[in-house]
């Protein structure tokens, strides 16, 4: 998955995968374990989805008492999770459009799960909000976009706004005052 994330699915060769796995490069050893490169991709996506911690489990210890600070902790956890799942996120943005069924699998197994968790969190934190599902989508889009742009630009956001400033701005928009 790291090679797929770094180089792209289509640019990663079977020989490279075999060499990285300690097999004889180009000897076909991968096919003793997987019927195709796509089968390896599917297994990698499934393993990462199964191993991924639910977003809210990233929040270790007691949460701050102030609502905006609690949201900021959730936003930090989301950004950390995106960084942890870097390879899958890169695949999602760059390569999975070639595989609509796998794109849908990620949507159902991962994105929907996170959206539900964030929606539930916002519903409990902001009971007066008329549409926590839409608000969750906006928050997720903002954090995801920040991560994507920072990743594209080698770890630095192109507007040179650091993560804390960005997440603080999102938190102020969602929980004003």
**Can you say how many angstroms the Cα of residue 9 is from the centroid of all Cα atoms in its chain?**
17
Please give the C-alpha separations between residue 82 and each of 78, 140, 149, in angstroms, as whole numbers. 6, 11, 12
Measured CA to CA, the distance from residue 109 to residue 29 in angstroms comes to: 30
Tell me if residue 157 falls in helix, strand or coil: coil
pTM score, whole prediction:
0.84
- Return per-residue pLDDT of the chain as tens, 177 residues: 899 999 999 999 999 998 998 888 888 888 988 999 999 999 988 888 777 666 656 555 677 889 999 999 999 989 998 998 899 889 888 899 999 999 999 898 888 988 998 999 999 999 999 999 999 999 999 999 999 999 999 999 999 999 999 999 999 999 988
Measured CA to CA, the distance from residue 37 to residue 154 in angstroms comes to: 28
Domain 1-47 has CATH 1.10.10: yes
Which residues are CB-neighbours of 61 under 8 A, at least 6 positions away? none
Q: Fold for domain 52-174?
A: Tetracycline Repressor; domain 2 (1.10.357)
- Listed by start position, the domains of the chain span 1-47, 52-174
Q: Which pLDDT value is given to residue 58?
A: 59
Measured CA to CA, the distance from residue 117 to residue 144 in angstroms comes to: 16
CB 110 within 8 A of CB 117: no
DSSP output for 84-115: HTHHHHHHHHHTGGG-HHHHHHHIIIIIHHHH
Closest listed residue to residue 9, CA positions, set 44, 34, 33: 44
Q: Which pLDDT value is given to residue 61?
A: 64
């Amino acid at each position: 998955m790291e090679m797929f994330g770094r180089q792209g699915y289509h640019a990663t060769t079977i020989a490279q995968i075999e060499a990285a796995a300690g097999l004889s490069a180009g000897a076909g050893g991968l096919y003793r374990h997987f019927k195709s490169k796509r089968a390896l991709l599917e297994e990698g996506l499934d393993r990462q989805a199964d191993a991924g911690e639910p977003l809210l489990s990233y929040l270790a210890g007691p949460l701050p008492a102030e609502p905006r600070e609690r949201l900021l902790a959730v936003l930090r956890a989301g950004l950390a999770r995106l960084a942890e799942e870097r390879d899958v996120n890169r695949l999602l943005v760059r390569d999975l459009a070639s595989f609509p069924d796998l794109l849908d699998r990620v949507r159902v197994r991962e994105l929907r799960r996170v959206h539900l968790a964030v929606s539930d969190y916002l519903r409990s934190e902001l009971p007066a909000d008329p549409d926590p599902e839409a608000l969750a989508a906006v928050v997720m889009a903002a954090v995801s976009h920040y991560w994507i742009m920072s990743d594209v630009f080698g770890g630095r956001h192109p507007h040179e706004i650091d993560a804390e400033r960005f997440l603080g701005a999102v938190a102020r928009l969602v929980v004003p005052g």
